[in-house]
Amino acid sequence: MKVRTQTTYFGRVQGVGFRWRVCQAVKPFKVTGYVLNKSDGSVETLLEGEAEVVKGALALLESQLKEFWRSKKTDQREGEAHFDDFSIKR
C-alpha cells in the first residue's frame, strides 16, 4: 500500500541543519517528497512511498533528530506519489 505522510516538527528545528539532516537520513529509503521550513518556525516533511518504507524512514528521523524537536503532528493517507525525488523545498 502506498501512503503519503505529512509530519510537522516543532522545537529547535530551523537554523540548525535539520532539513539537511532529514535529507541525509532518508537517502537509504525509497521515498519521495520534501522537507520545508514553515513561517511559524516549524519544519514540515512529506514522505511518499510504500507504507512500511515510510514507517521506517519516520522511525529513523524520530530517533536521529530527537534532540531538535519537542513535539510533532503527523497525518497519513493512502495515495500515489506526487514527487519524483526527495528534496529541500525553499
**Ordered mean pLDDT values, 10 residues apiece, the chain (90 residues):** 97 97 97 98 98 97 95 95 94
- Which domains, ranges and CATH numbers included, belong to the chain? 2-89 (3.30.70.100)
Over pLDDT 90: what percentage of the chain?
Answer: 99
Residue 69 C-alpha cell reads as: 524537536
Give catalytic residues, as residue numbers. Answer: 19, 37
CA distance 8 to 34: 12
- Report the predicted TM-score, pTM, of the whole model to 2 decimal places: 0.93
Strand intervals (E) in the chain = 2-11, 32-37, 43-50, 69-78, 86-89
Q: Within 10 A of 17 (CB to CB), how many other CB atoms are there?
A: 12
> What is the pLDDT at residue 48?
98
> What is the pLDDT at residue 90?
82
> What is the pLDDT at residue 77?
96
> What is the pLDDT at residue 31?
98
CA distance 59 to 78: 19
